Amino acid sequence: MPGVGAYAACMAGLRAVKGDRLIGRRLAGGRPVLGICVGMQVLFARGVEHGVETEGCDEWPGVVERLQAPVVPHMGWNTVQAPEGSRMFAGLEDERFYFVHSYGVREWTLVTNDRTRAPLVTWAEHGPAGASDRFVAAVENGPLWATQFHPEKSGDAGAALLRTWVTTLAAG
């Protein structure tokens, strides 16, 4: 799911073609989905942009909201803090990725039980030291992967990340 634009417009477009249902069906069947930028954001429960609250695909709990940093949008290269065991960032732990966004998921609360595995959440920060805002930069959740940044604009590191995702498709 590529993403450019506003949360509400993206969800309206998805719902118009029943894309939200298609995503759910793909995931229920264990088939892969990759969300990029607002394509990741709409996978969360809801988004609030320009005072408009919109329901998302609700694959993960969380609210997409405006970043709280001195300069918004967050535009440019940034590092990420990937969790241990990340397949998405294997070999890319010290790389930089290209971001362009004003909104993100700033808090992650997910309750799991002994039957479910928690998604791997990667974080990034935007803003100067002491005034930065932390947000979800990527999520790995079984066949569902998503990035707030644009791997297609992230040079060799982004190409490597996309190759890794394609490799996971072949692995089944």
CATH number, domain containing residue 150: 3.40.50.880
Summarised one tens digit per residue, pLDDT across range 72-114 is 999 999 999 999 999 999 999 999 999 999 999 999 877 777 7
Summarised one tens digit per residue, pLDDT across range 3-30 is 667 999 999 999 999 999 999 999 988 8
Query: Considering the domain boundaries, does residue 124 fall inside one?
Result: yes
The owner of tokens 């990527």 is 138
Q: Which residue in the list 37, 95, 126, 140 is annotated as catalytic? A: 37
Total domain count, the chain: 1
CA 64 to each of CA 37, 55, 85, 96, 168: distance values in angstroms, whole numbers, following the listed order: 11, 10, 26, 23, 28
Q: What is the mean pLDDT of the chain?
A: 92
Query: Considering the domain boundaries, does residue 42 fall inside one?
Result: yes
Q: Whole-angstrom Cα distance, residue 109 to residue 170?
A: 31
Q: Where are the strands (E) in the chain, listed by range?
A: 33-36, 44-49, 52-55, 60-66, 74-79, 96-101, 103-105, 120-126, 133-141, 144-147
Query: Considering the domain boundaries, does residue 119 fall inside one?
Result: yes
The SS3 call for residue 144 is: strand
Q: Which of 161, 170, 155 is nearest to 122 (CA)?
A: 161
Residue 56 has pLDDT above 80, yes or no: yes
Query: Considering the domain boundaries, does residue 1 fall inside one?
Result: no
Q: Whole-angstrom Cα distance, residue 72 to residue 66?
A: 9
Segments forming the whole domain that contains residue 130: 7-171
Residues 57 and 68 sit within 8 Å (Cβ to Cβ): no
Q: Whole-angstrom Cα distance, residue 171 to residue 43?
A: 24
Which residues neighbour 169 within 8 Å (Cβ) at sequence distance 6 or greater? 32
How much of the chain exceeds pLDDT 70, in percent? 96
Please tell me the predicted confidence (pLDDT) of residue 37.
95
Query: Considering the domain boundaries, does residue 2 fall inside one?
Result: no
Q: Is 37 in the active site?
A: yes
Please tell me the predicted confidence (pLDDT) of residue 171.
65
Mean pLDDT of 135-157: 96
pTM, rounded to two decimals: 0.93
